[in-house]
Structure 1
């Protein structure tokens, strides 16, 4: 049975609760981690010489909007995410019993960072501040554990996510030209790392 779909413009935000994300909620993740649509991408260029190496990111418009649909949440991936959830630093946004947003995170002790592996809001509930509330909870978690930085990873094609992270206080801090495959640049799907530094 499909989950309830609630009209996003009704005044229901007061009834959306942010609370710890527990393993029993994992089966609801495919309803939230669905994908995105963009009409722009960041084109990546690299020039390398003996004395200088330069990277550039240029925002370019696409001739037609591009929709990416996530379909990677198989049994193995849910098991991996379950290990992250077991750490106890993940949050969910709930309307009644329905999961409408998620922030899955774990600490990387060696460099005192909090890695946000997944930050998503279901499409019907986007644009209402749920992502901000989830990130505020993530920040509180990082501060409570005396961590110095929050790290999020997205793709050069996911301009909506990059803009959302910037609004949440993140800056673009690095790129990896072969994080997903050896053809990431050709596929225009390069890993972008966003960071929010915390007061120390």
Structure 2
């Protein structure tokens, strides 16, 4: 097992990572109250009647953007026997002295075996070595396995965007959760 900086990603690398997506039997349901004198948002973990399944595909624009992020020198991969099995694409955000994880993926055959934690710990270490004050990432309220993983790694929910994916949150559809780990 080796964690090393990613210099480039081939189509074969993406294939080795497998499909990108998740399944969840729960979601964090959002309720919000807004009056002239106050505003509050509350997330409650709820069980779903059916498994929520999402498979994401990287568009050509995504892949071009990832290539630019990789050139910045903060993206890492975890390799077993020369095969890429986990990936963290990370962009420095110099304007606020943070790092942004744009894409974090572990091949489904290697999930819940500690490899994701090893990789996220490497990202945390790189952030600290380079003097960044925090690491930020975005996930969805429906991706409860990822939320719980990031929480176990010291990340906290610090932001909610109810219209990142759709302009209609009246049915409490998928919403964006921003999580952050402050670096000491």
Deviations 1:133-161 (A, max 9, x none): 11111011111210100101100000000
Cα distance in 2, alignment partners of residues 55 and 24 from structure 1: 39
> Is the contact between residue 4 and residue 78 of structure 2 (CA under 8 Å) also seen in structure 1?
yes
Residue matched to 1:125? 110
> Is the contact between residue 5 and residue 73 of structure 2 (CA under 8 Å) also seen in structure 1?
yes
Q: How many residues get paired?
A: 183
Unaligned runs of 5+ in 2: none
Q: What does 1:70-89 align with in structure 2 at a 5 Å threshold?
A: 70-71=56-57, 73-89=58-74
> Is 1:39 the equivalent of 2:45?
no
Alignment counterpart, residue 196 of structure 1, candidates 173, 181, 184: 181
Residue matched to 2:97? 112
| RMSD (CA atoms) | 1.5
User: Does the C-alpha gap of structure 1 residues 109 and 124 become closer, same or farther in structure 2, counting only changes over 3 Å?
Assistant: same
Deviations 1:29-82 (A, max 9, x none): 3543511110000111111100001101111101121111112x1322111111
Q: What is the DSSP-based 3-state SS (H/G/I as helix, E as strand, rest coil) of the residue aligned with 2:167? A: coil
**Distance apart, 1:178 and its partner CA:** 1.1
Q: Which shifted more, 152-161 or 26-35?
A: 26-35
Cα distance in 2, alignment partners of residues 59 and 77 from structure 1: 30
Residue matched to 2:48? 62
> Is 1:99 the equivalent of 2:84?
yes
Residue matched to 2:151? 166
> Is 1:137 the equivalent of 2:122?
yes
Alignment counterpart, residue 34 of structure 2, candidates 42, 48, 57: 48
- With the length of structure 2 as denominator, give the TM-score of the two structures: 0.93
**Distance apart, 1:183 and its partner CA:** 2.5
Structure that is richer in strand per residue: 2
Unaligned runs of 5+ in 1: 1-15
> Is the contact between residue 164 and residue 175 of structure 2 (CA under 8 Å) also seen in structure 1?
yes
